[in-house]
Chain A
């Protein structure tokens, strides 16, 4: 009984912190945006509720194309990423431990979306790396005038999103698979004459799906509302909706903020609609799936498809690796004109130039990442420990609340949140930025930590309890050390998320808190790939260092604990 009460108290603390720190600000931000969308923004002299912002939004040129492009790129990239990740898992799962896979995936998880997009644009564009390698072969003296990046069909954007999302889904999926007896299912299925691929589709995927549904929703929401990737890789005239809204928010004619706010609600509607579609697909699959299962087809026709999927995943990895390599090379280049495959001249100027000021940005980034990650980790551990002590699983509504910041498009509430923070008088400082970033870091830390936490062998704590260890001692002496690896992995993910935050840092920091990401995005509006390369390399390097530490620290600390090396992560 005392354990339950203790657990309730812990959970209550977390709920209060979340309600005030996370739900409240988002709701307040949404409310501000909602008021503006219906014409109320006193500072602009707009005091009367009206539908004018909506009417203006609907007559905005290219709006429907933008909406169509947003849905198309968002849905296709998410669906393809999911299919490829499942296929790749099916082929490689037997040959790869979660830990070694995480090692592979780390660089792709670490590199921020914007940096990857810049590198990818250089690799793919008609004057880019691939074209330069081909130029001497097919005799091009000028880059071909082909719509490859910023193409009107959004293919480059879909590719860019997939390079980032497939590794994320793979990681989530691999960690979910540790909770399913995959080997036994496979053996049983194959003994019954099912092909390997079909066992994956019919038996394993339905069990994995509930565990990865929320991460898939996060991916979907991101793909539908990305600004940085949309600007760099997406179609240009009209762009995807989120980019169109960002332009409206920064129009010299300030009354356009009202139209942009209406658009932000529309953006939220698109995401909600996509979730609804996902829910229907889920239902539909359940019914079709049962019927399909009962038919009992053993077909091994899925085998070549699986191979195709893993080939596609490897191609995506190669693209991503080329993009990162291109950025690193650019940062050491001086002149690298068409059609040279490598720079004509090299220089350290981009790194050495004092005006680049990357040292200050790096300092800020490290500070923010440490603070937000520490805060989020503590909250997550308190939450999970509360669940253990209350002897309860997680309520669905609580889960949904945690993910709220990742599911609501940033553009929908950040502007309003900014006004709230200003009223509280904490805008423009580190507190505001740490708070705003934590809204996004905490959910990812929860995603990374909760499954390994729940998968912890309960016999360990039971043994400790029977030896007389109280709840705090069990937490500090058993759980935390045993879970060191997943905790550090969660921390690394938290750091990567913090480093990548652009809009929250910009809005809440009033632009004064310069980080690697805000500087990189600002500079990418200039034309100097070399300086962008410096920032993007650092942007990717910092989280990568965190991932390496997440692997190295347990390896050293647990060097004489065989069972704790390379366990679940």
Chain B
């Protein structure tokens, strides 16, 4: 409630001189700063987009961006924790983090974030910030203006249509498919977020009562909610790649296995990545996206600013630039990144809407309708419990 109120107020007040002046002060303070944006660096297209953002903000606002490439977002969290441990309350080395879910929860809980700041960004006016909006709730945790959205993520599978005619239609159907094609499917290690998401996707489809997953996990509700998932996994596992005894480190390594012909189905958190990777020569031209009936888990990628960021104003200018309609349209262009925009189309003017509708398309790029409904992320505690139990059961 609090969030929506602040948001509504800020949108209403933005036209008033006071707030505009505040933002002008931020812009002035930001000029000349270099924002160290800590972001997962395993995707060259995202890296290229971040470099483009830096060129733009440098030309428009005198704020340059330097990407600190992470192999895991938790690296940046650990860095901020060590800075706090050493008593460094300002001048910190992390200015902005691409973040969501458990990492956000950890930083918010430990008071490691600056904010709330989202409502002060002029371009927040294009966001749907109502309490139930995905922009306001991150893995069921209220965002409270402590992180600003920048791109949509939605779980999808991809496959090589030259090798598979009909991919499995539901999560349950993976059992039969794997039995008919032993060794041709796998998932990333669940200690990686993509492997964990695969388990959560199956959990949502198989659990008797989905609503339970929106509450924190308890000993009482865990057993009943997850029993069907483990039964399903027990049936699936023997027919996985390498008989389920080894798993790829992350989704990129899994995609490489698909490109190498070792497996036939991979997965991604970005519906546009398949088309993008075909253009990059990383997947065969015949790769296509599919989603199980009933839809898939979706969430929003955010940027957050640590409490001790040295270049806080610069980070806010970059967060605001990421929300500009022309930035979002550029990002959604399949030739650039292809990630779906976080903006609310209803809040855009005619020109901006035209910019989105005029974007090019690609054969492997699914339409929004083909992606089916977006399912809510379960409460973060479910993911922790699931991955812990997976390790208990299968790591020997």
Contacts and interface: CB of A to CB of B under 8 A. Distances in A.
A250 B246 CA distance: 21
A335 B281 contact: yes
Contacts of B77: 252, 254
A251 interface: yes
**Top-9 shortest CB links A-B:** A526-B42, A422-B86, A252-B102, A338-B261, A145-B183, A527-B252, A62-B395, A127-B260, A510-B93
A251 B93 contact: no
Given A250-B72, A512-B66, A531 B78 contact: no
Contact of B246 (A152, A252, A419, A427): A152
Nearest to A335: B281
A522 B261 contact: no
Contact of B69 (A62, A345, A428, A511): A511
B261 A527 contact: no
A130 B370 CA distance: 41
A254 B104 CA distance: 11
B212 interface: no
A511 B38 contact: yes
Contacts of A511: 38, 68-70, 75-76, 79, 93
A388 to B, nearest CB: 42
B82 A422 contact: yes
Contacts of B43: 526
B4 interface: no
A147 B240 CA distance: 13
Contacts of B84: 43
Interface stretch (B13-21, B44-52, B289-297, B343-351): B44-52
Nearest to B390: A61
A142 interface: yes
Interface stretch (A190-198, A205-213, A235-243): A235-243
Contacts of A518: 69
A521 interface: yes
A172 to B, nearest CB: 32
Interface string A501-512: 000001000111
B396 A62 contact: yes
Contact of A253 (B38, B76, B82, B102): B102
* Size bracket of the B interface: 35 or more
Contacts of A45: 110
Nearest to A142: B261
Contacts of B72: 250, 525
B77, B94, B395 — most chain A CB neighbours (10 Å):
B395
B255 interface: yes
Contacts of A235: 246
A423 interface: yes
A512 B37 CA distance: 10
Nearest to B94: A510
A41 interface: yes
B17 to A, nearest CB: 38
Contact of A523 (B42, B257, B284): B42
A231 B247 CA distance: 12
B256 A529 contact: yes
Given A44-B81, A61-B392, A127 B69 contact: no
A346 B242 CA distance: 32
A160 to B, nearest CB: 16
A281 to B, nearest CB: 30
Contacts of A334: 281
Contact of A423 (B68, B86, B259): B86
9 contacts: A127-B260, A127-B261, A237-B189, A247-B191, A357-B51, A422-B88, A510-B79, A522-B70, A525-B71
Contacts of A428: 93
A126 B183 CA distance: 12
Interface of B: 36, 38, 41-44, 47-48, 51, 66, 68-79, 81-88, 93-94, 101-103, 105-106, 110, 182-183, 189, 191, 241-243, 245-250, 252-253, 255-257, 259-262, 280-282, 284, 384, 391-392, 394-396
A418 interface: yes
Contacts of B73: 252
* Chain A binding surface, main DSSP class: loop
Nearest to B109: A254
Given A65-B396, A236-B249, A511-B69, A249 B81 contact: no
B164 to A, nearest CB: 13
A338 B250 CA distance: 21
A377 B127 CA distance: 58
A347 B279 CA distance: 13
A143 interface: yes
A355 B38 contact: no
A57 interface: no
B69 A514 contact: yes
Contacts of A238: 395-396
A150 B262 CA distance: 14
A250 B74 contact: yes
Given A334-B281, A525-B42, A422 B246 contact: no
Interface in A275-323: none
Given A143-B261, A419-B85, A526-B43, A337 B284 contact: yes
B86 A531 contact: no
A339 interface: yes
Contacts of B47: 355
A102 interface: no
Contacts of A247: 191
Contacts of A257: 78, 81
A249 B77 CA distance: 10
Contact of B71 (A252, A345, A353, A521): A521
Contacts of B87: 423
Contacts of A527: 42, 252-253, 255-256, 259, 282
Given A65-B396, A427-B83, 13 more contacts: A43-B85, A62-B396, A127-B257, A143-B260, A145-B183, A145-B243, A235-B246, A249-B78, A254-B78, A257-B78, A422-B82, A510-B79, A525-B252
